[in-house]
Structure 1
Amino acid sequence: MAFSPSTFYFAPPDPSARVKAVFIYNFSKYVEWKEANRAGAFTIGVLGTSSVINELTTITTGKSVGSQKIEIKAFATLADVKKCHILFVPADNATPIPSIITKIKGNNTLLVTEKDGYVKQGAIINFVIQSNKQKFELSKNNAEKASLKVSQSLVTLSIPVD
């Protein structure tokens, strides 16, 4: 049996997933975590399934945040979520934001979402599309509640919510 190149269909990569992954990785450069969280691996978690996981893995291979090697972790459910520096919650994840915040409270975690209204519910950064461009909302108040220091450069690039 012969196969031609058109025999198999491979889904094209999701360009928005790559853009979000780049943003998420770059957020690590503009946020300061507590001293206690600057040792060991720098963990970026994704709650649920998302093509962002693969993109993050590709983008961060061999990279570090300061002296911390980056690890990407996928968490199937909220119960699986372990301490991480950044937690990304895709739009199709149905876990209520207040439940996620309760789970990560006190962990010094940057919560990144992509659903309208999530910053008002406690997320720190929320992806939005504005004028056909990927942008992000930022809540400095929510960052302070999570004991995170956000650089003025990141605030300038964001759509401030408070």
Structure 2
Amino acid sequence: MQRVKIKIAIFITLLMAGNALAQTTNYKTYAVVLYSFTKYIEWPVESKQGDFVIAVFGNSKMASELQNSMVGRKVGTQLVRIVEAKSLSELSDAQVIFVGDLKSGSTAEVVALTKSKPVLVVTERDGLVKKGACVSFLVTDDGLLKFQLNDQALSDQRLKAASALTALAYRGS
């Protein structure tokens, strides 16, 4: 029963997100979904110390939205801290890296930088799971926000996704 409730909650969040994205990019929705991922991904013990850092690389609107909406939020017992990274060197302390459209060409570099580290690499542009990102957002032709998961990348990063999350991932091309 608990799994069904989780799946329904994620589905409703994504459905609302898709409707909002049909007209313009709504970074508030992206922020909600990104934060939701943190509830369904398990990080190794060594990542559960200090602040929980979400770094945004290449999207100041997303960084601003996260800074506004994540005040006082926690992942487990860790306080969420948002970093707007201007360079790859500013990504080293993050548990989540959101790669915005403007820096999507740097996805392979971000993946190389985080190789074997427990970092969830999420991209704004679809299809970048093929370049090693853990998660890629995509907006379907009918305006729905969906996400692709790269199971191998998650494993390589020593992250474990809950089955409720993997069941909702878009598996199309």
Q: Which band: TM-score by shorter chain? A: 0.7 to 0.9
| One-letter amino acid matched to 1:158 | A
- Which of residues 75, 79, 82 in structure 2 aligns to 1:72? 82
Q: Name the SS for the 1:120 alignment partner.
A: helix
TM-score by structure 1 length? Answer: 0.85
Structure 2, unmatched stretches of 5+, are: 1-23
Q: Check if 1:150 corresponds to 2:147.
A: no
- In structure 1, distance between residues paired with 2:25 and 2:111: 29
Residue 117 (structure 1) shift:
2.4
Tell me how far apart the structure 2 counterparts of residues 66 and 34 of structure 1 sit (CA, whole Å).
12
Give the Cα separation in 1 of the matches to 2:47 and 2:111. 18
Q: Percent identity?
A: 29
For each residue in 1:105-161, what CA deviation from the matched residue of structure 2 results, as whole angstroms up to 9, or x when unmatched? 232100000223210010010010012111111111110011000001111221137
| Equivalent residue in structure 2 for 1:134, among 131, 145, 161 | 145
**CA 94–114 in structure 1, closer or farther in 2 if over 3 Å, else same:** closer
**What's the CA shift string for 1:14-73, capped at 9, x where partnerless?**
752111111111111000001011111111000123311111112211111111010001
Q: Please name the residue that 1:107 is paired with.
A: 117
Q: Given that residues 104 and 123 in structure 2 are in contact (C-alpha distance below 8 angstroms), is that contact kept between their aligned partners in structure 1?
A: no
> Number of paired residues?
149
Paired position in structure 2 for 1:32: 42
Counterpart residue number, 2:5: none
By percentage of residues, which structure has more helix? Answer: 2
Q: Which has the higher contact order (CA 8 A, sep 6+)?
A: 2
97-106 or 139-148: bigger deviation? 97-106
With normalisation by structure 2, the TM-score equals 0.80
Partner residue, 1:98: 108
